[in-house]
Amino acid sequence: NGLCELLELLTNTGKKVSAISIETGFSNTDYFCKTFKRMYSLTPTEYRNVKNELSDEKKATAELEFDAF
């Protein structure tokens, strides 16, 4: 699924948003960003930052739980 691939690329790679937009079939990066924001209420970069912050928090929580044992 293209949407899953797009979200995966945003979350798990350091690729530029413009490269991801082209790779997932959007020829116009501005249109991609506007469409993404309409769907998720965040820009692709904001989405990436939020997902990475959540991932970092999960890692920190897991480390704390591991240290408790």
- What is the chain's mean pLDDT, rounded? 86
Distances in whole angstroms, Cα of residue 59 to Cα of each of 7, 10, 14, 47, 62: 20, 19, 19, 18, 5
Mean pLDDT lowest among 6-15, 27-36, 52-61: 52-61
Asked if residue 56 has pLDDT above 80, the reply is no
For residues 14 and 16, give the distance between their C-alpha atoms in angstroms, rounded to a whole number.
6
Contacts of 52 (CB under 8 A, 6+ apart): 11
Which pLDDT tens digit goes with each residue over 22-43? 999 999 999 999 999 999 999 9
Asked if residue 14 has pLDDT above 90, the reply is yes
The answer to whether the CB of 13 falls within 8 A of the CB of 50 is: no
Contacts of 64 (CB under 8 A, 6+ apart): none
Reported pTM:
0.76
Task: Identify the pLDDT of residue 62.
Answer: 58
